[in-house]
Amino acid sequence: MSQRGIGLVVLVVLGLTGRVSADELGIGSPAPKLEVKEFVKGEKVTGFEKGKIYVVEFWATWCGPCRTSIPHLSELQKKYPDTVFIGVSVWERDPSKIKPFVQSMGDEMAYRVASDVSIPVKKDQGDGKDKKKEETEEEDQGGKMAKNWMDAAGLGGIPTAFIVDGTGTIAWLGHPMEMDKPLAQIVAGKWDLKAATAEYQKQQAIKAKLAALRPKLVAAVQTNDSKKIISVFDEAIKEAPELEPKLAPIKFRILVDLGEMEKALEYGNQLIDGAFKDHSERLNDIAWTIVEKPTEKTDKALLKMALRAALRADKIAEGKEPGIADTLAKAYFETGDVAKALETQERAIQLASGTPLAADRAMKARLEQYKKAAKK
C-alpha cells in the first residue's frame, strides 16, 4: 500500500467515530417523541404505549444496505408480532420515490413504514410594492425524527435501528442485522439494561478518545512517515489500552502493507493470544488482512498465523458464520491445503444461503478456484 493509501485507511476509519457529546442520546435514554410526517404503510402510531416494545428503524430508498436489511426486519416482525416495527424513511433525495418503493416491496416489507423528510420550499421575503428582487430560502418542513433521533445520537449512517422497551427507554441501538439477540432478550424480559447502558457509555468514551486522537494522526499522515503513524498508534494504546481493539487492526494492516513482516508477525500473535483471543470478528480481520491478497513475498509464517487466527475465529463462531468460514477456506488454500479449502468454502456457501452474502460473487469465484485446484 502506498503512503497515500495508508493515510486514507487511517483517516477513513477514524472518520467513523462521529460526533460525541456528554448529553448524547443513547442506550438508557428516554426515547424521543415519535413525530413522523406520515405513515406510508400500516396502522398509524402516535406514541409509545407502556408495556409495548418498539423497533424504530431508519432507512432510505437510495440506501443499498437498507434494502438488504428489509427482509430481515420483516422476518423479525413475523417472529415477534406483538412488537411494533416502524421503518422511518429519512434523508431522502427524492421523497416522491418513497410510496412507490414501499408498494413495490409488497409483503417483503411486512411492517409499518413512515416518512420523515425535510422538503425545501420557497418562501417569499419581498415587501410588496417596493420589492426589488424575489428571494428564497429553505424552510424546514419536517425531519424531526432525523434530528431528534439520528442527529441527537451522533449517528450519520443508515440503516440504524433503535429498540424501545416497555418503559419508553432506548434499550439498544445499532445495525438492524445485529439486533436479533438483544431483541430476543428484551422481548423475553431478560435484557440487562443497566449493563447495556454501561457498555454503551464505555464505547462512547472510546469514541471521544479516538476523536481526540484524530488531529495527531492527521499530522502524522501529512508527514508521509509510516513510522511516525505507527508511533502515534503505539503512544495512544499505551495511554489508553481500551483503544487497542479499534486501533490494532489499522496498525497491523500498515505493518503488513509496509512489508514489516517480523513486526507484523510479532504483533499479530500478540493480538491473537491477547486482546483478540475471544473475538471472532477481530480474529477474522487479522486473518483476512493477510490472506486477501498474498504475494510471492508474503512470509509463510504470516500465512500460518492467519490460519491460526481463522481457525480460532471459526471455533468461537461455532462454525456458523459464512464470512469467517470464507476466510478460513482462503487461509487453508494459501497454506497449501486445497482439500480443506474446498470443504470449508462449500460450508461457507451453504451458510451464506438466505443472507446478504449469498450474492457475493467473490465467494463463489473462490469456490470454483478451489475446485479447479483440487482436480490438478
- How many Cβ atoms are within 10 Å of 88's Cβ, its own excluded? 26
Mean pLDDT, rounded, of the chain:
86
CA distance 160 to 40: 19
Looking at the fold, whether 366 and 258 belong to one and the same domain comes out as: yes
Last residue of a domain, one of 165, 187, 209: 187
User: Domain for residue 5, yes or no?
Assistant: no
Looking at the fold, whether 40 and 111 belong to one and the same domain comes out as: yes
Mean pLDDT of the 221-235 span: 80
Looking at the fold, whether 176 and 242 belong to one and the same domain comes out as: no
Phi, psi of 295 (to 5 degrees): -120, 180
Do the beta carbons of residue 37 and residue 136 sit within 8 Å?
no
Phi-psi region of 115 (alpha: psi -120 to 50; beta: other; left: phi over 0): beta
- Examine the pLDDT at 125 and tell me if it is beyond 70: no
CA distance 180 to 75: 10
Do the beta carbons of residue 311 and residue 326 sit within 8 Å?
no
DSSP 147: I
Q: Is-cis flag, bond preceding 159, omega within 30? A: yes
User: Domain for residue 251, yes or no?
Assistant: yes
| CATH number reported for the structural domain that contains residue 181 in this entry | 3.40.30.10
CA distance 304 to 147: 49
Locate cell 487497542: which residue? 244
Residue 294: its pLDDT value, please?
A: 87
Residue 156: its pLDDT value, please?
A: 85
Let me know how many helices (H) and strands (E) the chain has, helices first: 14, 6
By percentage, how much of the chain surpasses pLDDT 70? 87
DSSP 276-322: TTT-HHHHHHHHHHHHSS--TTS-HHHHHHHHHHHHHHHHHTTT--H
Q: Name the pLDDT band for 130 (thresholds 50, 70, 90).
A: very low
CA distance 53 to 85: 9
User: Domain for residue 362, yes or no?
Assistant: yes
| Nearest partner of 55 among 98, 113, 100, judged by Cα | 113
| CATH number reported for the structural domain that contains residue 362 in this entry | 1.25.40.10
Residue 137: its pLDDT value, please?
A: 35
Q: Name the pLDDT band for 118 (thresholds 50, 70, 90).
A: low
Locate cell 435484557: which residue? 191
- The domain tally of the chain equals 2
Looking at the fold, whether 160 and 80 belong to one and the same domain comes out as: yes
CA distance 69 to 177: 6
User: Domain for residue 118, yes or no?
Assistant: yes
Residues 6+ apart with CB under 8 A from 235: none
pTM metric for this prediction: 0.66
- How many Cβ atoms are within 10 Å of 118's Cβ, its own excluded? 18
Look at 339 and 294; give whichever has higher pLDDT.
339
> For the segment 313-367, what is each residue's pLDDT rounded down to a tens digit?
999 999 999 999 999 999 999 999 999 999 999 999 999 987 778 888 999 999 9
Residue 221: its pLDDT value, please?
A: 74
CA distance 360 to 343: 18
Tally the C-alpha atoms within 13 A of residue 72's C-alpha that lie toward its C-beta.
Answer: 19
User: Domain for residue 269, yes or no?
Assistant: yes
Looking at the fold, whether 56 and 84 belong to one and the same domain comes out as: yes
Looking at the fold, whether 339 and 254 belong to one and the same domain comes out as: yes
What sign results for the dihedral spanned by CA atoms 316, 319, 322, 323? positive
CA 128 from chain center: how many Å? 52
Mean pLDDT of the 260-277 span: 91
Residue 139: its pLDDT value, please?
A: 36
CA distance 277 to 283: 7
Helix pair angle (322-334, 300-316), 10° resolution: 150
CA torsion angle 96 97 98 100 (round to 10): 110
User: Domain for residue 45, yes or no?
Assistant: yes
Residue 309: its pLDDT value, please?
A: 97
Three-class secondary structure of residue 360 per DSSP: coil
User: Domain for residue 228, yes or no?
Assistant: yes
Looking at the fold, whether 205 and 96 belong to one and the same domain comes out as: no
Residues 6+ apart with CB under 8 A from 280: 312, 313, 314, 316, 317, 321, 324
Looking at the fold, whether 203 and 319 belong to one and the same domain comes out as: yes
Looking at the fold, whether 225 and 324 belong to one and the same domain comes out as: yes
β-pair partners for 88: 58, 114
Locate cell 427482509: which residue? 71
β-pair partners for 41: 113
- Examine the pLDDT at 199 and tell me if it is beyond 50: yes
For 36, the domain range is: 28-124+134-187
User: Domain for residue 33, yes or no?
Assistant: yes
Looking at the fold, whether 182 and 293 belong to one and the same domain comes out as: no
Do the beta carbons of residue 109 and residue 136 sit within 8 Å?
no
- The type of residue at 217 is L
Looking at the fold, whether 371 and 272 belong to one and the same domain comes out as: yes
Task: Give the DSSP H or E segment for 174.
Answer: strand 170-174
Mean pLDDT of the 184-203 span: 95
Beta strand pairing status for 170-174 and 112-115? unpaired
Q: Name the pLDDT band for 48 (thresholds 50, 70, 90).
A: very high
Looking at the fold, whether 238 and 155 belong to one and the same domain comes out as: no
